[in-house]
Amino acid sequence: MRIPSSRGPVSGALLELLETSPTDTHTDLVEALHERTATALRDTDDLVQDDDLQTALFLAYELRYSGLTGIHDDWEWHPAVLALCAAIEAPFERTLRERAPMPELPAPGVENVAAALFEFTGADSGPSVSRYLAKKATDEQAREFLILRSIYQLKEADPHTWAIPRLRRHAKAALVEIQADEYGGGRFDRMHAELFARTMRGVGLEAGNGHYVDVVPAITLASSNMMTMFGTHRRLRGAIAGHLAAFEMTSSQPNRLYGNGFRRLGYDKDVTFYFDEHVEADAVHEQIAARDLAGSLATDEPELLEDVFFGAAAGLYVDGLAGAQQIDAWTARASALRVAETAGLRA
Amino acid sequence: MTAPETQPDAQPATRWDDQWEDHPAGAAAAADEPVSITAYPNGPLLVRGTFEILTPTGEVIPPRRKTVALCRCGVSTLKPFCDGSHKAIGFRTEQEPPEPQPPLT
């Protein structure tokens, strides 16, 4: 990924450090990063919406995915970078646990867990970006929607794949079954991330991973960071399973509406296929995720039951905030992106 | 580099297919495996295995994925596949196991 811009003292200090060689010891740069992180965490009004801290975490995490152009790959496991992640992750997780409204936990058992997840995700009555897109969105708003989605969708499925070696038995097999489909059954042109890239190109947007990071708000980075945090910590394997279940369970019908929105705006199947594919795919995935993945995991490891629902609740909470911000901006005839002029983003 | 030691008493590796006595060994084994259809509570039927879905006139509906979900509630807009609509209509399936069929007379 090309290097995103700094958004403040922490992401700035991190970028300054990353541009040096990981084999040299830049004590001053490491100390500056450490101090600025402590200050920013102490002073932030809202870590979930903090541009600087979410950008810093996003940069550090990207080293675990496609890397950062021109930055040495050894930084991924460098103690200074891991310390930064740990410093942000602990309060980030704590904030999500405090804020995400949890349902009453069901009794253990595959069917109980699946039924409770369906009930919980079905009760989500937040503002609906999908209905807005289907009925009202302008062409420009529809492009903004794709730009915001691109942060995750161009690496679609990757954060949940981290969980595969951390699961056992039925839960592992279920996750593999879902992820194999996400990756197009092994066919490059059917990989969901690739289908999304095709949609972006179809409306004239750039489809390079991370091309639009600089224009998305902190909440969009927080949504991606949350998934990476859940996926890359074995302790949080229950949360990543619950997150995937909730994501799949709130996806089928919205994708039908997204497809309808782009059809209403005059786009053909080159653009809408991604969404139409997800109507069918996620109707399969939600069953496997709720019952065979989350239900089996919570039954095999009952101590993870609460985290399964935490992952689901946190996903709905963060993506609900992101959606509400988009709709608020659009109904006020403003841009949902960080910079007002989207004209410059068009190819 | 040293050459691998030869083991005169080595047995041929066990074939994957030989692990299951009720499944015939050999290339045809995968095709002979029964298709599984799982009824998901309050939801669709998930079909796994090697299968074809045909239209009433016998044309094959090309599958887009290995595991498919077939509509059970009747309101999917993608029939025969599920599109998640059963949740919107509150579709419920019976919890108890199926009753034995009465004998044909």
The interface predicted TM-score (ipTM) is 0.89
Among the partner-chain residues A181, A185, A286, the one whose CB lies closest to the CB of B84 is A286
Q: Which helix (H) or strand (E) holds A140?
A: helix A139-153
Determine whether the interchain pair B65/A281 forms a contact, defined as Cβ–Cβ distance below 8 Å.
yes
Mean pLDDT, residues A272-297 taken together:
97
Dist. CA A275–CA A191, nearest whole Å: 13
Q: What are the residues whose beta carbons fall under 8 Å from the beta carbon of B52, sequence distance 6 or more?
A: B60
Determine whether the interchain pair A282/B84 forms a contact, defined as Cβ–Cβ distance below 8 Å.
yes
Determine whether the interchain pair A115/B42 forms a contact, defined as Cβ–Cβ distance below 8 Å.
yes
Phi, psi of A170 (to 5 degrees): -60, -35
Q: What is the pLDDT of residues A46-92, one digit of tens each?
A: 999 999 999 999 999 999 999 999 999 999 999 999 999 999 999 99
Higher pLDDT: A318 or B95? It is A318
Q: Structural domain boundaries of chain B?
A: 36-94
User: Between A79-99 and A218-232, two packed helices, what is the crossing angle to 10 degrees?
Assistant: 110
Sign of the C-alpha dihedral computed for residues A46, A48, A51 and A53 taken in this order? positive
Dist. CA A243–CA A236, nearest whole Å: 11
Q: Which residues of A288-322 are buried (b: 16+ CB within 10 A; e: fewer)?
A: bbbbbbbbbbbbebeebbbbbbbbbbbbbbbbbbb
Determine whether the interchain pair A287/B83 forms a contact, defined as Cβ–Cβ distance below 8 Å.
no
Q: Amino acid identity of A203?
A: V
Beta carbons of A213 and A1 less than 8 angstroms apart: yes
Q: What is the pLDDT of residues B21-30, one digit of tens each?
A: 554 444 444 5
Q: Find the range with the poorest average confidence among A23-27, A203-207, A279-283.
A: A23-27
Among the partner-chain residues A253, A287, A291, the one whose CB lies closest to the CB of B88 is A253
- Give the neighbor-by-neighbor strand order of the sheet with B45-48: B36-39, B45-48, B68-70
Dist. CA A329–CA A336, nearest whole Å: 5
Dist. CA A91–CA A138, nearest whole Å: 38
- Find, in chain B, the residue whose alpha carbon is nearest to that of A178: B67
Among the partner-chain residues B42, B43, B65, the one whose CB lies closest to the CB of A185 is B65
Dist. CA A36–CA B17, nearest whole Å: 60
Beta carbons of A114 and A295 less than 8 angstroms apart: yes
Give A-chain residues touching B44 at CB under 8 angstroms.
Answer: 283-284, 287
CATH 1.20.910.10 boundaries in chain A: 110-345
Q: Which fold has domain A110-345?
A: Heme Oxygenase; Chain A (1.20.910)
Dist. CA A319–CA A126, nearest whole Å: 10
- CA-to-CA dists, residue A149 to A16, A152, A232, angstroms: 28, 6, 21
pLDDT exceeds cutoff 90 at B103: no
Sign of the C-alpha dihedral computed for residues A285, A286, A287 and A292 taken in this order? positive
The CATH H-level superfamily of B36-94 is CDGSH iron-sulfur domain, mitoNEET-type (3.40.5.90)
Q: What does the pLDDT read at residue B14? A: 58
Q: Determine which of A181, A252, A260 to mutate to test the interface with B (most B C-beta atoms within 10 Å).
A: A252
Q: What is the pLDDT of residues A299-336, one digit of tens each?
A: 999 999 999 999 999 999 999 999 999 999 999 999 99
Work out how many CB contacts closer than 8 A connect A with B: 63
Burial class (CB in 10 A: 0-12, 13-18, 19+), B15: exposed
Beta carbons of A71 and A3 less than 8 angstroms apart: yes
Determine whether the interchain pair B85/A177 forms a contact, defined as Cβ–Cβ distance below 8 Å.
no
Among the partner-chain residues B65, B69, B76, the one whose CB lies closest to the CB of A287 is B69
> A181 CA to chain B: closest CA distance, Å?
7
**For residue A50, how many other CB atoms are within 10 A of its CB?**
25
Give A-chain residues touching B64 at CB under 8 angstroms.
Answer: 277, 280-281
Please state the pTM of the whole predicted model: 0.90
Give A-chain residues touching B90 at CB under 8 angstroms.
Answer: none
